[in-house]
Structure 1
Amino acid sequence: MSKEKLAIIRERGYDFDIQNLFERAWAMYKIQPLLNASFTMLIISANLLAALYFKDYAFLYSLFVAPHLFSGFYFVANKYSQGEHVVYPDFFKGFSFYMPIFSIWLIGQILTALGIFAFIIPGIYLAVAYNFAVLMAIFGGFDFWTALEESRKLITVRWWKMALLILILVILNIVGALFFLFGLVLTLPITYYAIYLLFEDLTEDVFVEEQ
């Protein structure tokens, strides 16, 4: 993936259908619902264990382990999209891109926090604009800073609609958490699958041209 081709996508503009994304993400989840649910339960359990029994180290878990677990959904979504069979170890492939994912989460959260602390609005802007950064690193081959910047520039084209999508996903996960966290078994994978599908839709032409 090249920055020049991404610039062409930004220049011509794009749009997306939020309802369609949810329908496709749900269809993706249903391909192997037990596998998706079991991995999500693993993440939830790990988060609870870190919060309840390792409070002093919970921050380290959220920085050094959690991002790579969550990123596993992107690898699985990619295999589903390609019509490939998914096995449980595929969910752990985020650890094979350890430093890019770690750097994106660390720097991205620092910049977002600084933006919120300074003027609030810049922080909100970055919180939305960085949602493609991990995908840019994994599937675009960019270093962490380029991934953050290319994500920001691409999402800025339709920032308000992307913000609406993220808001819906946040509310969806809050509702899921209210059901004794069990609802997250469904809402969490759908969240990552929806974001992946949007990224794939927007960058599909770039990958086709490079093949």
Structure 2
Amino acid sequence: MAAFDFGIKVDPAPFDRQINEGYQVNISDYVRQGWEMFQKNIGEFIGFTLVVFVISALSARMNAFGSIIFSALAASLYAGYSIVAFKRLIGQEIQFSDFFKGFNYFLPLFLAGLASGLLVSLGIVLLVIPGIYLAVSYVFVTFLIIDHRMDFWQAMEISRKIITKEWFAVFGLALALFAINLLGVLALGVGLLVSAPVTACAAAIAYKDIVGLHASEW
């Protein structure tokens, strides 16, 4: 997929069947598997996380303009963790360059981040609870875009419908991953070198368990 392709519309029927059938959320299993995945490629994960930190730090020195730049890059950088996790989940070897393949999906990821950010912010401003609902409901958007080459709006809607089926369980997962990253921040920020990739892998593993992987190349 080229970086500036909008993505495609996919047949929603398989997702509709899945929504009707339901699923279970196994938080402890996802975190454990995320930790194990991190350990097997610890050098690559820490190296890429350092790259993200450097980009963030350089952007912060550019004030408001830098914040806009980093916001535009953030979704593609996060998608890099997801692509590496997907490859490991199907037994493929990884290369460090795989972390940057999220930029192959730049436009739909950017548009999804922009649209979901606006909707979540609006929901929080209005009544708070709608914003929290949407923030959790969009957890699978990145994965759907890179796994199905899906356009951003369909990815947002399918993610919302799937997660709404077991919203409180996924909310529990989101809280657990947030808590792990908070511990990383409290460990003088250095802990984020571990917690950021572990939680990103755990989220990708949750997607694979709940939705399943569609593609074999990303």
Length-normalised TM-score, structure 1: 0.93
Output aligned runs, 1:1-211, within 5 Å. 2-51=11-60, 53-204=61-212, 207=214
What is the number of residues matched between the two proteins?
A: 206
Specify the SS of the correspondent of 1:63: helix
Residues 25, 170 of structure 2: 8 Å contact kept: no
Specify the SS of the correspondent of 1:65: helix
- Residue 91 of structure 1 aligns with an amino acid whose one-letter code is F
Greater relative CO, 1 or 2 (CA 8 Å, sep 6+): 2
Deviates more, 1:114-123 or 1:40-49: 40-49
CA distance in 2, matches of 1:163, 1:42: 29
- Residue 19 of structure 1 aligns with an amino acid whose one-letter code is S
CA distance in 1, matches of 2:179, 2:77: 21
Specify the SS of the correspondent of 2:211: helix
CA distance in 2, matches of 1:3, 1:201: 18
CA distance in 1, matches of 2:98, 2:214: 22
Q: CA deviation at 1:192?
A: 1.1
Give me the identity figure in percent.
31
Q: CA deviation at 1:124?
A: 0.3
CA distances 1:187-206 after superposition (whole Å, capped 9, x unpaired): 101111111111111222x7
Specify the SS of the correspondent of 2:208: helix
Q: CA deviation at 1:48?
A: 2.1
Question: Over aligned residues, Cα RMSD in angstroms?
Answer: 1.4
- Residue 153 of structure 1 aligns with an amino acid whose one-letter code is K
More helix by share: 1
Deviates more, 1:122-131 or 1:62-71: 62-71
The answer for unaligned runs of 5 or more in structure 2 is 1-9
The answer for unaligned runs of 5 or more in structure 1 is none
